[in-house]
Structure 1
């Protein structure tokens, strides 16, 4: 906030010199949806979700096909308000609900496990007050400002929205999700914010009132009360984030609906998206009624890719939940409506929220500004949250604050179809979960991991997104010059933004901690039990269709599987797979059978596996339903020479 006095003086001079220009300044509304994936609307191609108001907005807007966010929410939100990459402002993970760390404490942990080769810096847990946020700059230029909805940029009051330039703030902390989707919301005005004690300015409504509707009421009330002056409405909906509260009358509409694409099938998500769509429709309608549409820059956006992992069997949300547990009712409700489905499916994009693949960071973006944006237009410009700050300042005729670094570019040349963006590349910094950084230049995308991961062993992944939007064919080995070129850009980005790269762990011991991993590591047994004996792996069936599953066979197909097996009774097995962009195993196809002859001798069985694209999760079904078979090894290879092998003859040495 060091430049705010200067900005205020500048604004006063401008106001005196040109009150007409001030009167022409547009209102600004940013409608941000939480966890809405690129494919989570009919606008972008879903044939399951119903979003007629988003369709209406698309016809009046420019739709961006290649818009990005960060893979998690807080970094995106901080980048919106600062115009900076997350590596510069320091909010790199969804940590805005955690207690703030002291300013003078290093973000690097003091120590790490001896099994951990690198030490990664922690994310900042709040948006630093030193930044000239978008809301402060607009406020100081005479705009009436409001934040309504999810914040997730600071747990304690000193970092709440009112400290960042918002005149009106309607929110609750902590805020990964709402305190409740239904009133009473249970938000307090005193005490210390925690998971069991939400604090903030959200007040209860009538019993059963839905949070999405209430936030819309508050947003409309702010517009109605400030229609005679320029305003900035930062409308950040909680939907469609967990805890996935939904209107059952809506959910029932989708319970038996079939997706013609065969990808999306969660009626709870469909219900929540319908509520978000209705919220959008109400806001657009009120702007029309108040005759504010023509002078309002309206931005519709999402904070990260769709959630593709929560609430599935084996996930932490669904494990060890018994009657009497606080989440028991939620689990029963989810199973009733959604079964084993995750919240959404981002196909054809790969993976989703929390991942650096397209499913985690490519999101919907629509911008409407009558007289400046051609209705129904489309752009494939590569854009992101860092661009909203300079775009809004240029649209509102406000000079950027002195001394505040802006990484983004104004989108006005693209929106007005008068020019292109000037940057060479766009970057995503995400040193968490599966730590990586990515760069997008034209159709090319390079992912650089800081170290191999058990599920993602390649530290460089190169994709041509125009030809392979699902990121199934890693071209790094066949295009080394392009990898080197993009790697250089990443190095420059890291140096320019001051990114805190991982550093060596002085306590790292690569000996016993690494080599003692069991040779069965990465294999998950289902309907069978495993026993290590005499340098072999015994597999005994405990139910129907026993198999070993793994997510560690990450290579381009087609594959070949070689199994060294002894099966006295013989029998039939099969291999089933899903590719990197698929969340579920297809009901038909993508499986191949094999036979094992009855014999007391060891056999080597080779099975062609006709995977198309990048393999994801693989299941090796074994002829052990009513017997015990023995395994010496399992190996997967492809034509490029990649290999994944389990050698069970090491079992004796691994246990010593």
Structure 2
């Protein structure tokens, strides 16, 4: 555990002022609970406008708290969580996508990710874990004498050196990798190991299985209450980061059946599986709030209710369900069948009144529920239209608890403490979200206006590379005003440019190798042809490519082969200088977050010959492939003339290097 920041925090007289009691002893500073829901949309709850979802505990909480109608998070989880814990913009901390479960690399300056001539811009490469030198919110509280705990989803670093106990949390309850619940199931057993290398096949952490069928969020509620009870007589900071409502889309069967029988409206929420997930989350939120009341510490506890990004409006469509149920023996078959039976092919939720959802820069991906309660300090049942960002929680909680900001840590957020305690409406607040991938870009909201700047043309998804909306008149972002109001575009564009400069971020830049209309490797200046070389380099030869080993495990990786298994691989290869050797194929499916530590590999032999050899490899993929690796013999390498991946159904994916075409 890193404690070297402890001496940097000096007490100040703030909102949690040290007023004297009869014995001149200072009052105890307030506790803090940061309750974070995964993928909860802006309207996912009764208090937020839903007539279908049942969230009685959240609704009751809203009557005791201040609710924000203009609260923003990043469109994806890892960047949003990093911003909460550091108070920093994504362009500063560098976690730009949901990569917190991927293999960590060395920390260094931000760099651009590889691009082809088809890419008009070079995009910033996302980091995969928190900066080890950042002073997290937990470290700030720890340095001020608080007891600290993190329970639930982390998704901010795969390996142990990047886990929450290395960022100021004394007590933890989590596992890795963790885009979703441990073991990719909400129900015990989860199969989490206490040590080893974290992977999709080997979950590692300190989550211990409970009774068979125990829901993980029920367990989080129990562990949270245990921590609160044990530390009720001293100030504490608790991260309670729920796994609901993230995929896999499974829930308690009795709740699914209950919501399936409810009457629905076609223009409202209609998904019984998601409703059941939301209800379980609400139940456990209620359990924790009840525990505070029973222990008599509710009045001295600040509770933040927040979501990490907008609601999911893209998962579990017809094609995804077909893929997940392709193999009745697969792990995904059971819950997908239940989802299909009760929810059909509808997406998990609907961000009613907003455009888009999770992973999008539109309001549906960024605008989220936010409520803050502190009895006798924050007006109960109040509503604020102040623009609030996830980065604002850090300075706000420090000010509310009477702490100074750490001297060696840059904070981009602005405190809204006076908005909460004095009812002031914030002024000058803007919201910036940087997500450059998958047709994303960067967005800025300033007052009623919002600008989105894109770096990839996708005419079927949005109009042009610049979109301008007046959210006061067009919350659904249905009319792009960029062409009509170039002055406003220029004004907001300056805010984006200033944002990158202020945060020392690495903005996208034009690709010097961009070739308009380039669609195939034939136009590429690189011999990689869309393949990613690792521990090797690729050179073009007269009738193929040469893979030259530069490490012990040279391979070509690709995410362009997404086929339903089993898959047959046809190769035309030869050893360099005719030498023999052993190659290998490794795969990861779309249901896995990492390559398994063992298994899922098939070897093939390359005979000694200077002629091209036709080799066929049967690859027993279960499910649909996501990433494939073709390993060359480690001693020298391999010459490749062609690669052809073929499934039983579907079009083959192939490279023919003799003609320089795919």
Give the shorter-chain TM-score range: 0.7 to 0.9
C-alpha deviation, 1:515, in angstroms: 13
Q: What residue in structure 2 maps to residue 634 of structure 1?
A: none
Whole-angstrom distance in 2 between the partners of 1:21 and 1:70: 42
Query: Counterpart of 1:414?
Result: 419
Q: Which of 38, 45, 53 is 2:42 aligned to?
A: 38
Provide the secondary structure at the position in 1 that maps to 2:519.
helix
- Counterpart pick for 2:506 among 481, 500, 504: 500
1:100 aligned to 93, 100, 104, which one? 104
**Where does 1:451-600 land on structure 2 (aligned, <5 Å)?**
451-455=456-460, 456-513=462-519
- 2: distance between equivalents of 1:263 and 1:176? 28
Q: What are structure 1's unaligned runs of at least 5 residues?
A: 518-654
Instruction: Give the CA deviation at 1:499.
Output: 2.0
For residue 306 of structure 1, report the CA deviation from its aligned partner. 0.3
Q: Distance in 1 between matches of 2:17 and 2:64?
A: 32
Contact 1:212 1:279 in 2 (8 A): yes
Work out whether 1:140 is the aligned partner of 2:146.
no
- Counterpart in the other structure of 1:90: 94
Q: Distance in 1 between matches of 2:501 and 2:149?
A: 35
Could you tell me how far apart the structure 2 residues matched to 1:201 and 1:473 are? 49
Query: Bigger CA drift: 125-134 or 321-330?
Result: 321-330
2:32 to 28, 38, 41: 28
Tell me the equivalent position of 1:202: 207
Runs of 4+ in 1 over 4 A off after TM superposition: 8-11, 14-22, 514-517
- How many pairs were matched up? 515
Where does residue 600 of structure 2 map in the other structure? Answer: none
Give the Å deviation of 1:473.
1.1
Name the residue aligned to 2:76. 72
Change in CA separation of 1:21 and 1:360 when aligned onto 2, cut-off 3 Å: farther
Partner of 1:582: none
- Structure 1 residue 334: Cα displacement: 1.5
Q: Residue deviations 1:446-489, cap 9 Å, x none?
A: 11112422432411111111111111111112222211111111
1:256 counterpart residue number? 261
CA contact (8 A) 2:325 2:333 kept: no
1:280 aligns with 2:285: yes
Aligned to 2:607: none
Does the C-alpha gap of structure 1 residues 459 and 317 become closer, same or farther in structure 2, counting only changes over 3 Å?
A: farther
Matched, 1:237 2:242: yes
| Offset, 1:384 | 1.2
**Residue number in structure 1 paired with 2:655:** none
Q: Select which of 320, 326, 330 maps to 2:331.
A: 326
Report if the CA contact (8 A) 1:409-1:421 is conserved.
Answer: no
Offset, 1:262: 2.4
1:247/1:271 contact within 8 Å kept? yes
Q: Which of 430, 436, 439 lines up with 1:434 in the alignment?
A: 439
Q: TM-score, normalised by structure 1?
A: 0.75
The residue number in structure 2 matching 1:545 is: none
Q: CA deviation at 1:511?
A: 4.7
CA contact (8 A) 2:122 2:510 kept: yes
Is contact 1:439–1:447 with CA below 8 Å preserved after alignment? yes
Aligned-partner SS, 1:202: coil
| Residue 339 (structure 1) aligns with | 344
Q: What SS does the corresponding residue of 2:256 show, helix, strand or coil? A: helix
The Cα of 1:258 is off from its aligned counterpart by 2.9
Contact 1:34–1:239 (CA<8 Å) still a contact in 2?
A: yes
RMSD: 2.5
Supply the distance in 2 between the matched residues of 1:342 and 1:326 (Cα, whole angstroms): 20
What is the aligned counterpart of 1:178 among 150, 171, 181?
181
Question: How much has 1:104 moved relative to structure 2?
Answer: 4.1
Note if contact 1:318-1:331 (Cα within 8 Å) is conserved in structure 2: no
Tell whether 2:152 aligns with 1:149: yes
Asked if structure 2 preserves the Cα contact closer than 8 Å seen for 1:251 and 1:268, the reply is yes
The Cα offsets for residues 576-608 of structure 1, whole Å up to 9 and x where unpaired, read as xxxxxxxxxxxxxxxxxxxxxxxxxxxxxxxxx
Aligned residue for 1:95, secondary structure, equals coil
Shift of 1:328: 1.8
295-304 vs 113-122, which deviates more?
A: 113-122
Q: Give how far 1:5 is off.
A: 4.6
The corresponding residue for 2:162 is 159
| Structure 1 position 177, deviation (Å) | 0.3
SS at match of 2:319: coil
Query: What do the CA deviations read for 1:551-573 (whole angstroms, capped 9, x no partner)?
Result: xxxxxxxxxxxxxxxxxxxxxxx
SS in 2 for 1:205: coil
Q: Normalising by the residue count of structure 2, what TM-score does the alignment of the two structures yield? A: 0.74
Query: Offset of 1:324 from its aligned partner?
Result: 2.6
Partner-residue secondary structure (3-state), 1:379: strand
1:49 matches 2:53: yes
Deviation digits for residues 26-61 of structure 1, max 9, x if unmatched?
Answer: 000011000000011011101110111111000000
User: For the residues of structure 1 that align with 2:19 and 2:423, how far apart are their CA atoms?
Assistant: 29
Go from structure 1 to structure 2 and tell me whether the alpha carbon gap of 1:512 and 1:464 turns closer, same or farther (over 3 Å shift). closer
Change (3 A) 1:408 1:317: farther
Unmatched 5+ residue regions in structure 2? 524-660
Give the Cα–Cα distance (whole angstroms) in 2 for the partners of residues 490 and 21 of structure 1. Answer: 49
**How far apart are 1:264 and its partner, in Å?**
1.6
- Contact 1:310–1:317 under 8 Å retained in 2: no
**2:396 paired residue number:** 391
Whole-angstrom distance in 2 between the partners of 1:324 and 1:358 = 39
The answer to whether 1:366 aligns with 2:366 is no
- Determine helix, strand or coil for the equivalent of 1:250: helix
Secondary structure at the counterpart of residue 289 of structure 1: helix
Cα distance in 2 for residues equivalent to 1:428 and 1:137: 25
Answer whether contact 2:321 2:340 (CA < 8 A) is retained. no
Q: 1:301 to 1:317 in 2, by over 3 A?
A: farther
Q: Describe the superposition over 1:355-387 as per-residue Cα deviations: whole angstroms up to 9, x where unpaired.
A: 000000000001001111110000010001101
Comparing 499-508 with 442-451, greater Cα deviation is found at 499-508
Q: Is the 8 A contact 1:107 1:124 kept in 2?
A: no
